[in-house]
């Protein structure tokens, strides 16, 4: 009798050990191959926005989820345009976590690609196609992680939600529809989205991680000048194009004051670890400053536009038009000015500042509809702690650098709903390759998919599994 009980106990312990081993070590090589196949299918779906056609990509994802035995819902928000939402249930002891990605991509019309942008190609050690980094790669990895959690039967304390959204590149129509029409489907305390990620240094090794905890507010302003019309053979002093040009020149020369938010000071301190000595010293000086930021330290960072733009609101002319014929004086001239506003500044205050800088009451300034805004996410808590823990387990000693992104993501809408949203794309890129998003020959290194799947899987397990 006792021998039988002992044998049963031994058998049970071996079974449990096997389950734990399987849950701890999925086949990440196979998962990476699966991700590559999914990226290839999503790229081929061609979800260039406009028009979007995200329903084509959503159909691919929904089929994958069905094959894995995971129920999902397709939520149409416009003809041919849809979101995909799926959920793995936890025991409810902790609030849900949301894995978020968008499946629309920026169009490539007018860009001189070296390959077909809507066909995944391996070239010179890279996977190249529109959307591989922004944001189809992350969408594919998140879906794969969901299937791994299901396959490995990981016991969950949190619900794990997957949401693929549409229209992120043109205003966030997909996520806005979900918030307005089905908020419970994506209600989560923690959101993992694009916006930050693993950065590769020399030799292709991970050097630091950018953790996006805030983003600037996106806002457009239209500046219009009007002037007397007539035949171009008789120039008049009140020329609309010249008036607009003078105003834009004043705007070009203006620098908005530096504003050191908590996330900016944290970014300065941590980023100083990976910068040259003079830049690092200036960053530490700014991070430790009180009152007015030191002018000498600001001058060092202002030499690098990529760094300087993190310190302040920026406004730049991006579109201009005027006149009707080459032999007629223009009745009007118009410019679009795109501003990226630090989160603690108000849009109407920036508009007033633009009016002041233009210094011409004849120039009309109008703001577009607001693009959406959310307060920065906490720099501490379960999300940042788990990200730091898993990152340093995989890449010992790697700095995790909080930062405020210059671009806009769907995270702003969820931050406005009270979620703690973090930009942490697991696909490792050099800063040069990261800047190819929206541009010609967007690409990711061929070898990054396996560690990307492992990183996100381990991160979700750390945050959502029962421990």
**Which token pair is 222?**
């239209």
Which tens digits make up the pLDDT trace of 209-249?
Answer: 999 999 999 999 999 999 999 999 999 999 999 999 999 99
Find out whether 113 and 132 touch, Cβ atoms under 8 Å: no
Q: What is the pLDDT of residue 6?
A: 47
Q: What is the pLDDT of residue 2?
A: 39
**Which token pair is 263?**
């996330």
Q: What is the pLDDT of residue 21?
A: 40
Q: If DSSP states are collapsed to H, E and C, what string results for 49-84?
A: ECCCCHHHHHHHHHHHHHHCCCCEEEEEEECCEEEE
- Residue 14: band (very low, low, confident or very high) from pLDDT cuts 50, 70, 90: very low
Residue 76 CB contacts under 8 Å (≥ 6 apart), including other chains: 55, 82
pLDDT over 90, % of the chain:
90
CATH superfamily label, 26-216+375-464:
Zn peptidases (3.40.630.10)
- Residue 105: band (very low, low, confident or very high) from pLDDT cuts 50, 70, 90: very high
Which tens digits make up the pLDDT trace of 127-174?
Answer: 999 999 999 999 999 999 999 999 999 999 999 999 999 999 998 999
Strand partners, 338: 220, 316
Count CB neighbours of 113 within 10 A.
16
Count CB neighbours of 375 within 10 A.
12
Find out whether 87 and 159 touch, Cβ atoms under 8 Å: yes
DSSP-derived letter for residue 171 is: T
Q: What is the DSSP string of 77-144?
A: EETTEEEEEEEE---SSS--EEEEEE--EE--TT---SS-TTS-EEETTEEESTTTTTTHHHHHHHHH
- Compute the mean pLDDT over every residue in the chain, rounded to the nearest whole number: 94
Which tens digits make up the pLDDT trace of 326-336?
Answer: 999 999 999 99
Distance CA 343, CA 15 (A): 52
Count CB neighbours of 306 within 10 A.
10
Q: Which residues of 385-397 are buried (b: 16+ CB within 10 A; e: fewer)?
A: ebbeebbeeebee
Place of tokens 């007015």: 292
Q: Span 29-42, mean pLDDT?
A: 98
Q: Where are the beta strands (DSSP E) in 171-244?
A: 190-200, 206-215, 217-226
Q: Where are the alpha helices (DSSP H) in 206-320?
A: 240-253, 262-271, 277-288, 295-302, 305-308
CATH 3.40.630.10 domain residues, the chain: 26-216+375-464
Place of tokens 């923690």: 190
Distance (Å) of CA 62 to CA 174, 176, 229, 263, 467: 16, 21, 58, 37, 30
Q: What is the pLDDT of residue 24?
A: 57
For residue 107, cis peptide bond before it (omega within 30 degrees of 0): no
CATH 3.30.70.360, applies to 217-367: yes
CA-based end-to-end distance of the chain = 34
- Residue 1: band (very low, low, confident or very high) from pLDDT cuts 50, 70, 90: very low
Which tens digits make up the pLDDT trace of 405-435?
Answer: 988 899 999 999 999 999 999 999 999 999 9
CA-nearest of 432, 411, 34 to 194 is 411
- Residue 98: band (very low, low, confident or very high) from pLDDT cuts 50, 70, 90: very high
Which tens digits make up the pLDDT trace of 229-238?
Answer: 999 999 999 9
pTM to 2 decimal places: 0.89
CATH 3.30.70.360 domain residues, the chain: 217-367
Count CB neighbours of 325 within 10 A.
8
């Amino acid at each position: 009798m006792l021998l039988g009980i002992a044998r049963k106990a031994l058998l049970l312990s071996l079974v449990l050990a096997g389950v734990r081993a399987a849950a701890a070590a999925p086949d990440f090589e196979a998962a990476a191959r699966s991700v590559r196949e999914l990226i290839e299918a999503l790229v081929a779906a061609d979800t260039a926005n406009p028009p979007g056609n995200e329903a084509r990509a959503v159909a691919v994802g929904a089929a994958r989820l069905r094959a894995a035995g995971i129920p999902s819902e397709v939520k149409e928000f416009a003809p041919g345009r849809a979101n995909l939402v799926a959920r793995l249930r936890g025991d409810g002891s902790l609030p849900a976590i949301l894995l978020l990605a968008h499946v629309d991509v920026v169009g490539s019309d007018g860009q001189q690609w070296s390959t077909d942008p809507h066909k995944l190609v391996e070239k010179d050690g890279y996977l190249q196609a529109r959307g591989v980094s922004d944001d189809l790669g992350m969408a594919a990895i998140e879906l794969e992680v969901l299937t791994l959690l299901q396959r490995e039967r990981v016991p969950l304390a949190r619900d794990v939600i997957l949401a693929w959204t549409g229209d992120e590149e043109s205003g966030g129509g997909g996520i806005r529809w979900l918030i307005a029409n089905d908020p419970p489907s994506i209600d989560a305390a923690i959101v993992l989205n694009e916006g930050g990620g693993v950065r590769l240094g020399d030799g292709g090794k991970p050097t630091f991680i950018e953790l996006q905890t805030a983003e600037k507010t996106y806002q457009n302003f239209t500046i219009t000048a009007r002037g007397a019309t007539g035949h171009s053979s008789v120039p008049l002093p009140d020329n609309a194009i010249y008036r607009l040009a003078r105003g834009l020149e004043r705007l070009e020369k203006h620098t908005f004051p530096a504003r050191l938010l908590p996330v900016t000071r944290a970014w300065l301190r941590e980023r100083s670890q990976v910068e040259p000595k003079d830049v690092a010293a200036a960053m530490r000086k700014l991070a430790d400053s009180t009152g007015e930021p030191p002018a000498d330290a600001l001058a060092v960072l202002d030499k690098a536009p990529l760094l300087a733009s993190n310190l302040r609101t920026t406004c730049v002319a991006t579109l201009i038009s005027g006149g009707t014929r080459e032999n007629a004086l223009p009745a009007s001239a118009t410019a679009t000015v795109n501003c990226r506003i630090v989160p603690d500044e108000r849009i109407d205050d920036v508009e007033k500042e633009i009016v002041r800088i233009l210094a011409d009451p004849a120039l009309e300034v109008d703001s577009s509809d607001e693009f959406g805004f959310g307060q920065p996410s906490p720099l501490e808590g379960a999300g940042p702690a788990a990200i730091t823990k898993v990152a340093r387990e995989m890449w010992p000693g790697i700095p995790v650098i909080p930062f405020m992104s210059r671009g806009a993501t769907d995270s702003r809408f969820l931050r406005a709903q009270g979620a703690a949203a973090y930009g942490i794309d697991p696909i490792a890129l050099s800063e040069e390759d990261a800047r190819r998003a929206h541009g010609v020959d967007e690409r990711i290194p061929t070898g990054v998919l396996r560690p990307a799947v492992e990183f996100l899987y381990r991160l979700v397990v750390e945050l959502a599994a029962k421990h």
